[in-house]
Amino acid sequence: MTALPPNHFLALPRPDVELGPPAGVVDTTTLAAHDFDVDTRTGFMPPQPPLARLPDQWAPWEDAFAAAQSHRFQLGRKSNITDAEKAQSEAWRAHVRQLPTLPTTGLLRSELLLRRAHHVLSWTMHFYVHSLPPDAPIRIPAPITVPLLQVSHHLQLPPVVTYSDDVLYNWALLRPQPPTEPAPALDNLRTLSSFTGTRDEAEFYLTSARIELRGVAALEVMRATLDELFVGDAIARARITRYMHALAGVIDELAALLVRVREGCEPETFYRDIRPWFNGVDSDAGARGKWVFEGLDENPEISAPTELSGPSAGQSSIVHALDIFLGVDHYSHASALTGHGPAAAAPSSAPKVSFLDRMQVYMPRHHRNFLRHLSTRPRSLRSLIEEQHVDDPELIVSYNAAVAALKRFRDAHMRIVALYIIGPARRLAASEAQASSSAQEDGGKAPLKGTGGTDLVRFLKDVRDNTVDALVDVGVNAS
């Protein structure tokens, strides 16, 4: 593949987030690489390790967060939690309630500071909520509520832990890397934050981080293909044919990285000890009612949040980019329509939003801009495929190879979900059924929710099966 042209939007230098663009340099709003926050070396991951700590002005947040991690708090709903563990977590929660409500205006000078603040405050909130006893009302104290909602407003993110908090901005280098290496090696990453302090949890996050880094190759194929689409002649189509076969190979590599999570993360440990910390309101299996954010009455300029799902693989921008680029989103995103959030209060005639589209709300706003730009380009790959479905069978075969690879990726995801969530959930339901007549009646057949709040099994099957619908029969009208 040819190198990026020096004036290509993915090749433009990113200005210092604290200083802004250099004097005299126009800061465009649609084509600058920093506006998309997509790096040619690391893709949707930042090219440098994220901040590991806020300045001393916000030390109370960092100290409370560090204390939660060091104490290794237990989930409040655990049946075998000791009185000492309960007392320890309650003492920490009492300390959080007494924290000063720190101002956030100083964070506005830097996107990096805002990201770190969202990371620290949202993780602290999840520690607070999920260490509570199972029968306790969920009231999030003002020292967390007020700054978290303010920071979330500026970042245009929901005030919960998101995929970007768990993966994109939750890593550091294991060892110093030579400046000649353009991106972190896949085996040179460690996590910054953890609910459990276990290797299992770290490997769960790092698996996604490695997929994001390897996804850079897919972004490069997209870039090269989009350049050729502007020409669209026989030579361009021949190059696109090669690119599609290359993309299929990259997607298969992403699937291989996905299933490697089994090497470092034990399924029962993940389901029992790690996954519950991710739950938002939508995914709280205990149905404990809504989360009350204290401090809103004293701060009327802050709006109560409406999006409170937990982190989900559906928030990965690289997967959405593949869907949009291949034109699969018209099929895969049509499944699992939801009336959640603002759409739920609208008249019944209002169009519902698919789960995958709703998950874009949980992505960094720069990445949403990238996906929007990708989906609104005047010339799409799918339009070329539909035009050439008879005249260029080799192109269609290569396109189908890429779509089939994406389907295999989703097959791999289904296997991981079966291993890490469905299997442990059924075993837990069977165990509870032996001790409870009410559990016996249910038989563990209630729909299993994902951390995004969906009927997990149905949603994943629909997305996988609908992906296949994007395949094009050679010589048959594709419209």
Give the span between the Cα atoms of 27 and 282, in whole angstroms. Answer: 38
Please state, as a whole number, how many other Cβ atoms lie within 10 Å of the Cβ of residue 278.
22
pLDDT band at residue 263 using 50, 70 and 90 as cut-offs = very high
Treating both helix axes as pointing N-terminal to C-terminal, what angle do 199-229 and 234-259 enclose, rounded to 10 degrees?
180
| Domain boundaries of the chain, sorted by first residue | 47-202+269-314
pTM for this entry: 0.85
What is the percent of the chain where pLDDT is above 90? 62
Rounding to the nearest 10 degrees, give the CA dihedral for residues 377, 381, 384, 390. -160
**338 versus 139: which is more confidently predicted?**
139
- Estimate the share of the chain in helix, then strand, then coil, as percent rounded to the nearest 5: 55, 5, 40
Give the span between the Cα atoms of 125 and 130, in whole angstroms. Answer: 9
189 phi, psi to nearest 5 deg: -120, 145
pLDDT band at residue 60 using 50, 70 and 90 as cut-offs = very high
Instruction: Flag whether pLDDT at 124 surpasses 70.
Output: yes
Mean pLDDT of 468-479: 68
Give the span between the Cα atoms of 468 and 43, in whole angstroms. Answer: 26
Mean pLDDT of 9-24: 43
Give the span between the Cα atoms of 27 and 227, in whole angstroms. Answer: 23
Give the span between the Cα atoms of 111 and 97, in whole angstroms. Answer: 27
Residues 6+ apart with CB under 8 A from 254: 211, 214, 215, 218, 318, 409
Q: What's residue 465's pLDDT?
A: 78
Q: What's residue 446's pLDDT?
A: 59
CA 217-219-220 angle, to 5 degrees, is 65
pLDDT in tens, 370-415: 999 999 888 899 999 988 877 899 999 999 999 999 999 999 999 9
Q: Nearest to residue 420, comparing CAs of 274, 288, 282?
A: 274
Strand partners, 39: 43
pLDDT in tens, 408-417: 999 999 999 9
Q: What's residue 346's pLDDT?
A: 38
Mean pLDDT of 242-261: 98
Instruction: Flag whether pLDDT at 259 surpasses 70.
Output: yes
Instruction: Flag whether pLDDT at 450 surpasses 80.
Output: no
Give the span between the Cα atoms of 294 and 59, in whole angstroms. Answer: 22
Contact 145, 185 (CB under 8 A): no
Mean pLDDT of 116-137: 96
Mean pLDDT of 81-87: 96
pLDDT in tens, 284-293: 655 566 899 9
CA 368-54-302 angle, to 5 degrees, is 55
Instruction: Flag whether pLDDT at 424 surpasses 60.
Output: yes
